[in-house]
């Protein structure tokens, strides 16, 4: 069976991939006995957040691929080098990096655009009939990459749900320990830390998402 791609967006909830969500995704995949390849776009982050103060680190610049390598223990590739033919599915953990680096939803809302390399990779997998999983805020990518009328969830946040709807998505409210699946399009999403207050809550939904993605291959 082909590998599962895990697409990262940096390292740290406020400017990159949410660390707990990323690790829980990798743990669930490893527990299922599948081979995983982490990847990330080679680009500058939108900005750098000091996770101790919560403030922007003025003048500091970091690279999404380099930062993502921290999460992957160095076992990572540049997303533009990933051949969609080599993968049977892809999962996108959340964290603000998904909304700041993989796309610019954090600043543009419903008028956002997706990084070209991210869009091309995910679109190619989708066109090949391969499932895609999106965690936390990452589902905002779905309408911009895959088109309108796909069912998805970001949990219960009204403002974000309205933006998703404005982009053409079909938002379904969802509890933290569950997920939403669009069977026709093979797209799975779960709220994780859009609702979770601890790792165990996030794990409950992520585990189910991973199993559903693997089932849809």
Choose, from 103, 136, 170, 174, the residue flagged as catalytic.
Answer: 136
DSSP reduced 3-state for 40: strand
Phi/psi at 68 (5° precision): -65, -30
- Cβ-contact 8, 95 below 8 angstroms: no
Active site residue 136: yes
- Cβ-contact 196, 202 below 8 angstroms: yes
Query: What DSSP string describes 15-35?
Result: TS--HHHHHHHHHHHHHTT--
Neighbours of 73 (CB within 10 A): 9
Burial of 74 (0-12, 13-18, 19+ CB in 10 A): exposed
Neighbours of 158 (CB within 10 A): 9
**Residues with catalytic roles:** 136
């Amino acid at each position: 069976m082909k590998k599962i791609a895990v697409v990262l967006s940096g390292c740290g909830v406020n400017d990159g991939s949410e660390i707990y969500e990323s690790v829980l995704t990798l743990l669930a995949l490893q527990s299922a006995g599948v081979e995983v390849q982490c990847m990330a776009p080679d680009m500058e982050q939108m900005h750098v957040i000091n996770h101790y103060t919560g403030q922007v680190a003025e003048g500091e610049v970091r690279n999404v691929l380099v930062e993502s390598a921290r999460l992957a223990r160095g076992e990572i590739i540049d997303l533009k080098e990933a051949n969609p033919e080599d993968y049977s599915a892809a999962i996108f953990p959340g964290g603000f990096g998904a909304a700041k680096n993989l796309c610019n939803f954090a600043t543009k809302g419903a008028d956002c655009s997706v990084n070209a390399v991210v869009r091309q990779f995910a679109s190619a997998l989708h066109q090949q009939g391969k499932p895609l999983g999106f965690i936390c805020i990452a589902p905002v990518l779905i309408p911009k990459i895959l088109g309108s009328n796909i069912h998805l969830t970001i949990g219960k946040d009204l403002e974000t749900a309205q933006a998703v709807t404005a982009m053409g998505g079909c938002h379904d409210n969802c509890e933290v320990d569950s997920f939403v699946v669009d069977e026709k399009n093979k797209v799975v999403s779960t709220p994780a830390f859009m609702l979770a207050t601890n790792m165990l809550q996030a794990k409950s939904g992520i585990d189910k998402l991973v199993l559903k993605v693997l089932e849809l291959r």
